[in-house]
Amino acid sequence: MQQRILSGIQPSGALHLGNYIGALRQWLDLQHSYQCYFCIVDYHAMTVRQNPDDLLHNIYALAALYRAVGLTAKNVVVFKQSDVSAHTELAWILSTFTYMGELERMTQYKDKVKQHKKNNNVGLFTYPVLMAADILLYQANLVPVGEDQKQHIELTRQLAERFNTIYGEVFTLPEYFAAPQGARIMSLDDPTKKMSKSATTEWGYIALTDNPDVIMKKIKKAVTDSGSEIRAGKNKPAITNLLTIYSVLSGKSVTDLEQLYLGQGYGKFKTDLGEVIITSLEPIRSAYNELMEDPEQLIQSLLADGANRARVLGDVTLTQVKTKLGVL
Ligand code: AMP
Ligand code: TRP
């Protein structure tokens, strides 16, 4: 039987180059050898207050982007988390197998609490349990995500093991799958922080839908390290990050790039990097714009079909779990 992948992204605004390199590009490669479930995790997005119109728009936009990047293989199921109620049901069940201390340790939770002091809701805390439910419901073998999610996958494995130990083999233990390069793309205006949508300024990230002028401006403005050498290294976080992006998108190794720009300043390097990013993102942007001309049509065909296919599999697992627990 073909192995299975599950991954998800929150519909909370423009996706950026970090999402693309850390997650989406991996999905693209894997879609041909795995049965894939790609989720739009709208319930996760609700841990931060959302405007309903914006949320719906962002759901459409993310579905369009999944298509636009090229997730179009037959065995790819794209669906919205809230369409499959088994996710929240299983999340409740799993929460009774999760210890407070385990959730208190989660780095993303600690960061989010700092960011959202006025809305430190219970959902922020139990967020990883819902994520575990997303994964375990589909008996996923592999979860391709950026490095920031590794801790959540480890928790998911713990919960699965805990359940299996008591009730027998119900859940598949999922593996974390990281991009070989670029699992953590850093912010352009502060290379000590990961590139993020919730960044305070737009200079920190490149959105997949940014136009060429904006991309070039952002790269030109990206901070650099002291010294003028184009070389990767521990004491050169900014240039290392730019070289990583360049390398992943161009297919040239970092060593080759260092060689290529030996003795040259940042100017030429940045212009070339800007061009590489623009060329990589252009087909995505144009496919995205075309799909967004008729989002209703997209939702009906893509998400309705995806939800039906996801429900079938989710129900099998949930039925098994409920039977084991004695509630069915
Ligand atoms: P999010 O935008 O937080 O919903 O993340 C969606 C996916 O992109 C997850 O797999 C993240 O791990 C990945 N991701 C987010 N930010 C980065 C980044 N700066 N570098 C690499 N991967 C990232
Ligand atoms: N927590 C992930 C993030 O913030 C999104 C997510 C939710 C996810 N459920 C998932 C990722 C299941 C992989 C698998 O990026």
According to the model, what pLDDT value does residue 170 have?
98
Q: Please check whether residue 27 lies inside any domain of the structure.
A: yes
Residues 171 and 306 in one domain: yes
Residue 10 Cα: closest atom of ligand 1: 4
- Per the structure, the count of domains in the chain is 2
* Per-residue pLDDT tens digits for 108-139: 999 999 988 999 999 999 999 999 999 999 99
In the predicted model, what is the mean pLDDT of residues 17-21? 96
Query: Contacts from 258-261 at CB under 8 Å and sequence distance 24+?
Result: 258/230, 258/231, 258/232, 261/230
Residues 254 and 313 in one domain: no
According to the model, what pLDDT value does residue 301 have?
86
Mutate to test the pocket of ligand 1, among 38, 130, 148 (most ligand atoms within 8 A of CB): 148
User: What is the pTM for the complete model shown?
Assistant: 0.94
According to the model, what pLDDT value does residue 228 have?
87
CA of residue 176 to ligand 2 center, whole Å: 12
- Whole-number percent of the chain with pLDDT over 70: 99
Pairing mode, strands 35-40 and 76-80: parallel
Q: Is the CB of 126 under 6 A from ligand 2?
A: no
Q: Please check whether residue 229 lies inside any domain of the structure.
A: yes
According to the model, what pLDDT value does residue 262 have?
94
Q: Is the CB of 40 under 6 A from ligand 2?
A: no
Q: Is the CB of 302 under 6 A from ligand 2?
A: no
pLDDT at 223 > cutoff 90: yes
pLDDT at 38 > cutoff 80: yes
Of the ligands numbered here, which is closest to the C-alpha atom of 133? 2
Q: How far apart are CA 181 and CA 168, in angstroms?
A: 37
Mutate to test the pocket of ligand 2, among 42, 44, 59 (most ligand atoms within 8 A of CB): 44
Q: Please check whether residue 182 lies inside any domain of the structure.
A: no
Q: Is the CB of 8 under 6 A from ligand 2?
A: yes
Strand partners, 194: 186
Q: Could you give the count of Cα atoms lying within 13 Å of 73 in the half-sphere of its Cβ? A: 14
Least Cα distance to 284 among 74, 75, 71 occurs for 71
* Per-residue pLDDT tens digits for 133-192: 999 999 999 999 999 999 999 999 999 999 999 999 999 999 999 999 999 999 999 999
Q: Is the CB of 183 under 6 A from ligand 1?
A: yes
Per the structure, the complete domain to which residue 253 belongs is given by: 202-289
Supply the residues annotated as catalytic: 112, 194, 197
According to the model, what pLDDT value does residue 295 have?
83
Q: Please check whether residue 243 lies inside any domain of the structure.
A: yes
Q: Please check whether residue 189 lies inside any domain of the structure.
A: no
- What residues contact residue 102 under an 8 Å CB cut-off, 6+ apart? 155, 158
The domain spanning residue 140 has which CATH number?
A: 3.40.50.620
Instruction: Let me know the angle formed at the C-alpha of 48 by 146 and 112, rounded to the nearest 5 degrees.
Output: 55
Q: Please check whether residue 191 lies inside any domain of the structure.
A: no
